[in-house]
Structure formats: C-alpha cells, structure tokens
Amino acid sequence: MATQPAVLITGASSGIGMTYADRFARRGHDLVLVARDGFRLEILAQHLRQETGVTIDVIPADLMKSGERALVETRLRDDPRIGILVNNAGAAMAGGYETQDADAVERLMALNTTALARLASAVAPRFVKAGEGAIVNIGSVVSLMPEFGQTVYGATKAFVLFFSQGLAFELGPKGIYVQAVLPAGTRTEIWERAGADPAALPPLMEVGDLVDAALVGFDRREAVTIPPLHDAAQWDAFDAARRAMLPGFGAVLPAERYRS
C-alpha cells in the first residue's frame, strides 16, 4: 500500500464528511467522495483539486439503495489505492419514538447501520490481505445516553460503537486500525434534515474543531475518540467497569440475588 493511501469518505457533500475530505486532501491523500448530491460533490472536488492538487473521484450514490451502494462496495473491494474508509454517512430523526413513522425508522436504521457494515465488509478482506488499512466509523455520544430521548438514532450509534470495538478486536491483530468517533452536538446540516427547530438547539461544536480532534485521535490510533470529553479517565473507568463484569458472564448458575 502506498505511503499516502487514498481515502473513501461517505456523506462527503457536507458537514463532517466534507471537512474530513478537506483535511485528508491537505495531508496529501487522494480521495473518493460519496454522497447522494453529485452536484455538491463535484463543486467540493473541484475546489480541493485546485487547492491541494490531489486526485479526487466522485461517486454520487444513495447508500440506502442497494444498486447504488453496490457501486461503492465494488470500488472498495477492487481499488488497491484505497487504504482508509471513513464511514460518515448517517441521519437522525426528530420527535419521540411513538410519533416516528415505521418506514422512516427502517430507512434510518438501514443507513446508519446496514450501509456502514456493508462498506466495512467490502473493504476488510482486502485490508487483511494487505496487512494494513484503517476504518473510521462516525458514531455519537448519544450511543451512551439513552436518557437523551433519541431511541432509534441512539441505538444505531450504539451499533456503530460496538461494531467498531468488535472490528478492532478481530482485525487489529491483522494490521487493521479501527476508530470509533463519538461526536456530541455538532454544527452540521443533520439537524435541519431531521426537522429540528434551529432556535431550540443547544450550543454546538464547530465541525472543523470536531474533525481536527478526531484526526488527533486517528494519529494516536485511539480505538474510541470522544472529542467533547475533557477527562479521558472517565472513559477509561467506564470501559474498566465493563471489563470487570466479563468474568461473571460465564457463570452457569443465576446470581444469588436472583434465587428465591
């Protein structure tokens, strides 16, 4: 694999994905940009080509449509230049669970989980064969916050976190780096697309700050990067508490507290 592998970024036409494209291009990486809005992708690609001189390919694709997603999967399987996958495409929904349309819920789950897993599946065998590569999955701190009231969105992001940790466990020894990035509220178009009232939004992190922090974690090879978390020891304690429970999960009898 080349010293500067190409980077495929989904959801690259705006927000976090667009900022990742800018940052990786300025690091000298060629890019493959994926999003539904081909016009916006081309504008971004032209701008970054002029600014950085890197090679940029554009794939307009709706990852919720199997035929269009297959184009991206094929590119990931077959293009040996691509050494980094940024799984950023995702969506949110406004409103409480009882008001959300079941078909919309299914589409949200398909984009936030199924598409992400399929793209990782497309590239993982090639990365393992090469003995190197990186997969960056964009999750959310909401995955740790069932009290936030975004049940389906949070559940999909909990999938992203677990999926990333599982991939790191399986693929890390084979030379593959997997990073889960957990943003908090970030100033992107996801709020407007979800139908949220801009006036009701809390203070938000700027997208450039979020991606720059995530790339610090990427360079450090962190497994889980949480840009808004100031005290890293809190995450370490959380993970240590989880690990401390693992031996008990092998018990063949119920815990004493459940025996009458």
Both tokens assigned to 95? 């409103």
DSSP assignment of 21-35 equals: HHHHHHTT--EEEEE
The β-bridge partners of 137 are 87, 180
- Catalytic residue, from 20, 97, 153, 258: name it: 153
Q: How far is CA 125 from CA 43, 114, 230, in A?
A: 33, 18, 36
d(CA 117, CA 7): 17
177 carries an active-site annotation? no
Looking at residue 194, what DSSP letter applies?
Answer: H
- Which distant-in-sequence residues (6+ apart) come within 8 Å of 74 by Cβ? 122
Amino acid identity of residue 25, one-letter, is: A
Nearest CA to 106 among 67, 156, 150, 56? 156
Yes or no: say if 113 and 160 are a contact pair by the CB < 8 Å rule: yes
Sheet with 31-35: strands ordered across: 56-60, 31-35, 6-10, 82-87, 133-138, 176-181, 224-225
Helix locations, 131-249, DSSP H: 151-171, 190-194, 207-220, 232-245
Q: Which residues are catalytic?
A: 153
